[in-house]
Structure 1
């Protein structure tokens, strides 16, 4: 029987204007993995991975504002940009007193997480990038409408990006491309489709598509961070990803020669079909690279949190 502490719990934490929903599992004194989801999904993308690691790590997976169950002001009252998403997640880590963590970044989670890493490099114990791009080499040839919208924010270019949000695109292109259909559960993509159907959701996502250009502009800074701070990095990539191709995984080695790169026979949402393989790679990687200092610090931080909670 699994320990109660290893079961996933569902919580929320107020961070400024956002009520951040998150999933948490694992011992309070274990090294932390902060899991940042991508587009168009939410923390439910980690539902299979979390139980596979919760015996050894404390896993925390928030929903970004505009996604999943996180409550945030409507478009117009809140700036749906990647800088703002990073502000909220940085505030979330501070609210939870997360002083040291490994980052798991996927898709949109990569530019959010790498902004955090640049701001507070001392907090990042390691980076796991699962189809989380930081190099122009990682782009496929399927980005035409988005790139046109980045160059010219006309209404016509905005509308040309709307098919990216359709049920067919989510189900068949984003999830289905390169995935074994017999291993691909409908649970993830049908929930994403339902979230996208909520009032105002598409316009929030179109704002973020427009703002994605700021991530590409930051790629040189992300790469400078890699060279300056030498984070320990594991790239686990679905090789059949129609958006981010394997060259994006291999490019990490240019700035981080010791980066470990694994290409899986999977698509963009590799966790949907290869959670066991990814969990095994993470356990091996973090088991080797996390220092005794990181583990001791986790126990000290847990004790400090417990004393604060009792005092309050």
Structure 2
């Protein structure tokens, strides 16, 4: 009986392996999605969906926090996704309510042909998302609703700046990390963007490695993407090339490219500006440009990390975010 059971168990195992091979062959990107799901669960996050601002959003979240805890919303950057925030979310979970959306057009969220996914359009959508999922109330300690802390990385930082500037009743505090939206000191990335290229374009294994080498400085933090997941990721990025180019044309070369920096002067809420000194994408000179427009902002410059501060230095970023949230507000942000 034991021998027959062992044969039966082995047959089931072989069937499961064969099924997995077939499923991956039909959809190689399934491996990437499976890894993202593993990371989400490891960070203690759940998965949610909502339709708002004309798009279906997919987001990760955690409600494992005190009833009156602030809501922390995290916006990813160009070619990024909600998964970029998981290391930080893991460190903040339990203290704050967390919302990590894939911005419309990116990740698992809906993308519509011909839609505008530049800074102003996304800022309008993000405010609608915040209103839909976060109770009203911007003042810390306010009885009706919980305050919203909006964090943005890279392109998401430019979007966050516009949301905070344009909707001060909805956003209590704002953090801009390696944020786009100002005319920073020239670097290779900026020159390529102005020349019409997409420095983040991924077409093959070599360009995938170039992409990772550009956004990460710390080798230990750089993700390992083994085959066949790497092939699936390359295929997805090649498929998205035209979309990426259309977004970069708006946020990197059109009249709206410096709009976040211009409107940042209207931000009155407590704020945080955080950069990595070795950022090869958004040069660290951008921090001072934003600081000139948001003088009340705390400034944090981290060493030995690149553009992906939220993944390369999550402990330091978590400490800075906690300081932003816990610091008493000096007056009405409006």
TM-score normalized by the length of structure 1: 0.76
| Residues 48 and 251 (structure 1), Cα distance of their counterparts in 2 relative to 1, 3 Å cut | same
1:78-103 CA-to-partner distances (Å, cap 9, x unmatched) read 33333332232222122214434111
Q: How far is the alpha carbon of 1:267 from its aligned partner?
A: 0.6
| Residues 220 and 7 (structure 1), Cα distance of their counterparts in 2 relative to 1, 3 Å cut | closer
Partner of 2:180: 133
- Distance in 1, Cα, partners of 2:237 & 2:291: 40
Say which of 276, 279, 289 aligns to 1:251. Answer: 289
Q: How far is the alpha carbon of 1:16 from its aligned partner?
A: 4.2
Q: Is the 8 A contact 2:216 2:308 kept in 1?
A: no
Which structure is higher in helix share?
1
Partner of 2:70: 31
Say which of 150, 153, 158 aligns to 1:106. Answer: 153
Unaligned stretches of 5+ residues in structure 2: 1-40, 137-146
Q: How far is the alpha carbon of 1:124 from its aligned partner?
A: 1.8
Q: How does 1:29-178 map to 2 (within 5 A)?
A: 29-73=68-112, 75-76=113-114, 78-99=115-136, 100-137=147-184, 140-149=187-196, 160-161=197-198, 164-166=201-203, 168-176=206-214
- Distance in 2, Cα, partners of 1:108 & 1:217: 11
| Residues 234 and 220 (structure 1), Cα distance of their counterparts in 2 relative to 1, 3 Å cut | closer
Q: Is the 8 A contact 2:261 2:293 kept in 1?
A: no
Higher relative contact order structure (alpha carbons within 8 Å, sequence separation ≥ 6): 1
Partner of 1:181: 219
- Distance in 2, Cα, partners of 1:141 & 1:172: 13
Q: How far is the alpha carbon of 1:58 from its aligned partner?
A: 0.9
Q: How far is the alpha carbon of 1:144 from its aligned partner?
A: 2.4
| Residue 254 of structure 2 is aligned to residue 216 of structure 1 | no
Deviates more, 1:96-105 or 1:241-250: 96-105
Partner of 1:266: 305
SS at 2:57's partner residue?
strand
Q: Is the 8 A contact 1:133 1:249 kept in 2?
A: no
Tell me the number of residue pairs that the alignment of Structure 1 and Structure 2 aligns: 274
1:99-143 CA-to-partner distances (Å, cap 9, x unmatched) read 341111111102222222222112222111110134213553432
SS at 1:137's partner residue?
coil
Say which of 277, 301, 308 aligns to 2:316. Answer: 277
- Distance in 2, Cα, partners of 1:46 & 1:191: 21
Q: How far is the alpha carbon of 1:271 from its aligned partner?
A: 2.1
| Residues 253 and 88 (structure 1), Cα distance of their counterparts in 2 relative to 1, 3 Å cut | closer
- Distance in 2, Cα, partners of 1:82 & 1:275: 26
